[in-house]
Structure 1
């Protein structure tokens, strides 16, 4: 890193030019990425329920309608004018290209059973259901174009468009506007805080250098990925939030070190060498750890979660690269001008800190010494607070993503709300069974299976090719409408099991298991909301150990190499578990139980948490927590190597990083908390959860609990086998005793701390002071 610093100084303009060229090319090629990203991806498409859904859509007329027209007559849907308007609307929809399986209340005369499900209880609303074919993107484009022709007033009918495709279009539009609004909110606030933290206008603008490279570069990478896989539109939100957040973190660490080193040496090249040998290596370790944590999302077989993994790994890698390549080039060009456009009172405080021997904050030093005197008390209070915050997580209930992620006033969501509230049966709660190989003696075998299926506890009625069944008995014979259960191509049929059970409840998953366990005379596959949720949770349960293993392994290896201890990594994981537990507890209390709407904005309360979100929050929050862990432990380890005094090392680490970690946490939290303004529930949860996790980690964990526990454990913190100590000496981040108060500059730059890289001899003698 020392040689790299010299190279950057000599080639600073070339490095900056290459970085600028990369941003321009990536910006041009990735400018249209939002048009290629899609919604959905919340379920495992390889699951049995997803395969059954595809069969229903491809081979039967039982595929879930992806377009719903809700017609409100403000009177009776059976009036002559309403009937004429509804019939005309139905025929108009049937004439649309690529639209099939149209079912309409007004076209179902003579089929009372079908009509009952298409008419509201009060008789004022009716439904027209259809499937829009083609790929997901093609269907969305067609429905978006149809909205102008169908939504609004048709005679006495007021029509709203709903269904999954309309919901997806609404999510796309809401996500784009939310992202723009979040940027408009966060940018001025962030710039003001940056100005106050850095103390100068020039330094405050440096995070934008890293953010530009990482965010624009990631958009280009996502654009390329859309050519080979599906990528969620929400990946853009993480790209912006995490890119700007890491840019702030890494800039604070680099600029703070550069300023201190510049104040000590008075030489830009030497200051940059010291900065890269210390802060630069910490950032490399941090970026690898954060990227590995986000790589845990790749263990889940849904493209929604994988998309965040793609975006997170890319933006973290680019932010780390920009922090040790592009930013040093800018610092080499600026030199002392990094402090230009300073705010007077902040400049005086900075100069006083730089003039001190340790570059430590007096306030944080006092706080650290107070904790060292009463570590048991401080640790006990924090653990009690975290336990209280985590308690609601014990009652967490999971659900699938649906229209309720949208604001309640969104038309697509209002259609679904009307279906749940005003229609006696709409098929959303049904358990559907696809049966294969039902030729030959099919009627008898189907009838026998349908009869036994209707006896399963929780099943109210079974409709099949052979008629209808209740409690083990046939209650209605087959009729013309029953033919919809037959396959259009090949052999086979399907059955629907109506149920009164909430499809997102644990009882529904028990029902699905009972249906799947029911012996059948032919191969069957089960689907429906309950089956989809059961398969989704099962798939996530399979991926979770791999995700946890990736994160834990990365944490243990990297922290062990950095510190030479096996105790420190284990303790770090335990601290992160506490942070995540408290965060999950707050998320359940707010979003599952419906508290704090006055603060986070209104949302549709469901009594559940979408199952993807805790997994997403787990990986993001874990990675960002490790970011601050690296910052703090690197300084503590440096002082411990120099003095061998654990308590002194902890105080030194807190006093020298407290200001930086706190400022970085506030800025990063502001970035993510801006997502709370979103109208989409997922973004609200991600923004609030990540923001609070960052603040909890930077204050209660890094500011109190971790140093208190380290003080109690003493030298045990640093225990590790001898071979690990040797590895640590080889791979350490290079946070040597450069800031540890040696008597001369040569000692500062060449001190043989574990893993430290000494400056070349020709540079060492020229330094004066500490970095």
Structure 2
């Protein structure tokens, strides 16, 4: 297959490039429509009890208040005639908005929960109708229309709908800033890495194709199923990064062959046969890791699988087809625009000497690295998981200011109550018994139902607010507690509420923020063993087909898991424990469950990317002389790929680190965690731990039982021939293996 690709590039290069231009224009035209198809939200399992409870409350009770307008008087206090008129006018106008229902305010209900304890602020509560995207769009319009200075009062928007809008808006701004940083920095680094302006542009071409192609894919998928708008973030970072990785490998190998004296056609054939095979296996391992995201119920995570699989496949295919065509056209001109004093060869004596040092003293050099990685991973022992809330936003975000004001100045009321809704009608006496059982649970302050308000051992008649909790087809109960929201105690209370037997003939669905957290952790935790198992098995099979060894896949899985644990432990130390919070400008919170899974899959896949880069070259050298000392192939393999891997990792890390400049903390964690995992893997694992492990394993590193060796010889994808240095190749100097 790879020989045919090379011949196609040599004979039909201009046709391939012409068709590529047409395809890119078509993909760009289609892809820009993706932004109108993608959805916000998607963090919850739609089949979970809390999601079903929310849908039932929406249907039977008109939904809960998800938009809160915080009103403050400019002069004279809220009791002034001007503030009174402004508050009533605001309430009336909001109630007349399409898609807005259940509008209540301090001025029409007089409820104490809607007035601050000092009387300086008041609330207007409303329910914005629709799915997550419709709520987001309407909320953005309402904020623009109603917030800010309104004469006698000033208004800020808060509540879940406003938090979601602020997060989406801030992430879009952060993405623009990240791209503005990553693209020029990457271009400069590419020029410095290649020493040639023209050669540096080739990887960017593949990155652009991958991004536009994935946008087109997301447009199609977004027309058929739910796809999160946050998939755009991964598309840009991974598309640019992997496009650079794959093109960098091809261009470097091509220039290496030219520098060794090969003619352009021969250099291109060797490049596609060797580097092309590496890219195909590398893409397969990354896709295997990202495909594991498909097993999770929230479409937020599945969307990253859609985007990630698409961008990896498109980057690999375009690299294998477009870069060879470009190299065939450019030939030796690929080095045009060379910077003065730029390095010509691909070999790196530094990486060769490092490998040789490690191979001579494997235990002495590997143990300190292992100790540092294990120390970095140790914060994982104290990790706690949560879901995003207003604290992921910067302090000046409107919705966060409103939330903090509510906690500080307003009576608690039932804002953090656990919501219980029955799936059918309940007789009044049975409802009372059920409410009393709930009120008797440890930690419950009171339970409000249409039959009354219940505390442990006492009850009082229902008022207008409680009566509204009853409907002919369902009953709603508010379980009010004094526990810290999203704490372990609050989550235990959710489980205790669910353990209470529901009234006969109905199912009691438990919702609210605490229940959403419990269900989110369960949805991911229940599927996590399956996802990890799929990643491990598919990776093992692919690496076995690639290497013919059962030891190499095990070694790769173990070392990659170690580097990933170190990166994730560092993120716990930073974002949960709060270290560097003053520098990065975030509020410490429990680690976001979804982002942790995403970070695992992305970082693991990219680690395998560099594993394949290095292992493929070591295997080429070993196959060229199977009788030679294994240390030679490892040392020369790292010498000839160390520079490429470190450059590729550095360039890809730039794309992810750029997200660290944002103001949404879970995006910061994802970007910094992914970038750190890439750097740790490329430097500590590829530079030290892999050579040490290969030395300690010796020839056993390539072991496979006889039946599997026969299987690999028949079904494994092997090179069409071992690496044969072109005429004029000089041995690497400055490297000793023993």
Query: TM-score, normalising length from structure 1?
Result: 0.91
Residues 670-685 of structure 1: pairs in structure 2 closer than 5 A: 670-685=654-669
Contact 2:621 2:723 (C-alpha < 8 Å) held by counterparts? no
Residues 207-218 of structure 1: pairs in structure 2 closer than 5 A: 207-218=203-214
| Mean Cα deviation higher: 498-507 or 554-563 | 498-507
Q: Deviations over 1:628-679 (max 9, x none)?
A: 0001111112222223422222112211111111111111111110011112
SS at match of 1:643: coil
Residue 94 of structure 1 aligns with which residue?
A: 95
Deviation at 1:378, TM superposition (A): 1.3
Residue 67 of structure 2 aligns with which residue?
A: 67
1:413, 1:571 → 2: CA distance?
A: 46
Residue 551 of structure 2 aligns with which residue?
A: 567
Deviation at 1:443, TM superposition (A): 1.5
Residue 457 of structure 2 aligns with which residue?
A: 472
Deviation at 1:267, TM superposition (A): 1.9
1:694, 1:426 → 2: CA distance?
A: 47
Deviation at 1:521, TM superposition (A): 2.5
SS at match of 2:412: coil
Identify the match of residue 514 of structure 1 among 496, 510, 525. Answer: 496
SS at match of 2:394: coil
Contact 1:398 1:504 (C-alpha < 8 Å) held by counterparts? no
SS at match of 1:526: strand
Contact 1:162 1:415 (C-alpha < 8 Å) held by counterparts? yes
Residue 732 of structure 2 aligns with which residue?
A: none
Identify the match of residue 723 of structure 2 among 733, 738, 741. Answer: 738
Contact 2:260 2:728 (C-alpha < 8 Å) held by counterparts? no
Residue 25 of structure 2 aligns with which residue?
A: 24
Deviation at 1:469, TM superposition (A): 1.1
Q: Deviations over 1:51-97 (max 9, x none)?
A: 01111111015x22222111112564344443332122111211222
| Mean Cα deviation higher: 623-632 or 525-534 | 525-534
Contact 2:261 2:726 (C-alpha < 8 Å) held by counterparts? no
Residue 368 of structure 1 aligns with which residue?
A: 355
Deviation at 1:681, TM superposition (A): 1.7
Contact 1:49 1:525 (C-alpha < 8 Å) held by counterparts? yes
2:449, 2:599 → 1: CA distance?
A: 43
Q: Deviations over 1:437-467 (max 9, x none)?
A: 434xx11111111111111001111111111
Residue 500 of structure 1 aligns with which residue?
A: 482
SS at match of 2:448: strand
1:436 to 1:363, Cα distance in 2 relative to 1, 3 A: closer
Deviation at 1:316, TM superposition (A): 0.2
2:12, 2:64 → 1: CA distance?
A: 61
Contact 1:258 1:272 (C-alpha < 8 Å) held by counterparts? yes
1:471 to 1:246, Cα distance in 2 relative to 1, 3 A: same
2:523, 2:647 → 1: CA distance?
A: 39
2:310, 2:49 → 1: CA distance?
A: 32
Identify the match of residue 604 of structure 1 among 587, 599, 603. Answer: 587
Residue 763 of structure 1 aligns with which residue?
A: none
| Mean Cα deviation higher: 458-467 or 686-695 | 458-467
1:444, 1:31 → 2: CA distance?
A: 58
Contact 1:428 1:528 (C-alpha < 8 Å) held by counterparts? no
Deviation at 1:233, TM superposition (A): 1.5
Contact 1:567 1:716 (C-alpha < 8 Å) held by counterparts? yes
Pair 1:164-2:148 in alignment:
no
Identify the match of residue 607 of structure 2 among 625, 637, 647. Answer: 625
Residue 433 of structure 1 aligns with which residue?
A: 420
2:179, 2:580 → 1: CA distance?
A: 23
Pair 1:409-2:393 in alignment:
no
1:253, 1:149 → 2: CA distance?
A: 53
Q: Deviations over 1:299-333 (max 9, x none)?
A: 11111111111100000000000110011111111
Alpha-carbon RMSD across the aligned residues, in angstroms, is 1.9
Contact 2:571 2:673 (C-alpha < 8 Å) held by counterparts? yes
Deviation at 1:531, TM superposition (A): 1.1
Contact 1:460 1:470 (C-alpha < 8 Å) held by counterparts? yes
1:711, 1:732 → 2: CA distance?
A: 25
2:15, 2:517 → 1: CA distance?
A: 54
Q: Deviations over 1:364-403 (max 9, x none)?
A: 2211111111100111111100111011111111111222
2:718, 2:481 → 1: CA distance?
A: 60
Q: Deviations over 1:316-374 (max 9, x none)?
A: 0000001100111111110000000001201xx31xx3xxxxx6322222111111111
Identify the match of residue 449 of structure 1 among 408, 422, 434. Answer: 434
Unpaired stretches in structure 1, ≥5 consecutive residues: 110-114, 354-358, 746-771
Identify the match of residue 400 of structure 1 among 371, 387, 394. Answer: 387
1:3 to 1:84, Cα distance in 2 relative to 1, 3 A: closer
Residue 215 of structure 2 aligns with which residue?
A: 219
Q: Deviations over 1:174-212 (max 9, x none)?
A: 222222211111122111110111111110001112112
1:186, 1:635 → 2: CA distance?
A: 29
Residues 634-653 of structure 1: pairs in structure 2 closer than 5 A: 634-641=616-623, 642-644=625-627, 645-653=629-637
Deviation at 1:616, TM superposition (A): 0.4
1:410 to 1:744, Cα distance in 2 relative to 1, 3 A: closer
Residue 767 of structure 1 aligns with which residue?
A: none
Q: Deviations over 1:275-301 (max 9, x none)?
A: 111000000000011011111111111
Unpaired stretches in structure 2, ≥5 consecutive residues: 730-738
| Mean Cα deviation higher: 192-201 or 363-372 | 363-372
SS at match of 1:32: helix
SS at match of 2:32: coil
Deviation at 1:598, TM superposition (A): 4.6
Pair 1:656-2:640 in alignment:
yes
1:426 to 1:728, Cα distance in 2 relative to 1, 3 A: farther
1:345 to 1:728, Cα distance in 2 relative to 1, 3 A: farther
Contact 1:398 1:610 (C-alpha < 8 Å) held by counterparts? yes
1:190, 1:744 → 2: CA distance?
A: 33
Residues 278-357 of structure 1: pairs in structure 2 closer than 5 A: 278-346=274-342, 349-350=343-344, 353=345
Residue 276 of structure 1 aligns with which residue?
A: 272
Residue 547 of structure 1 aligns with which residue?
A: 531
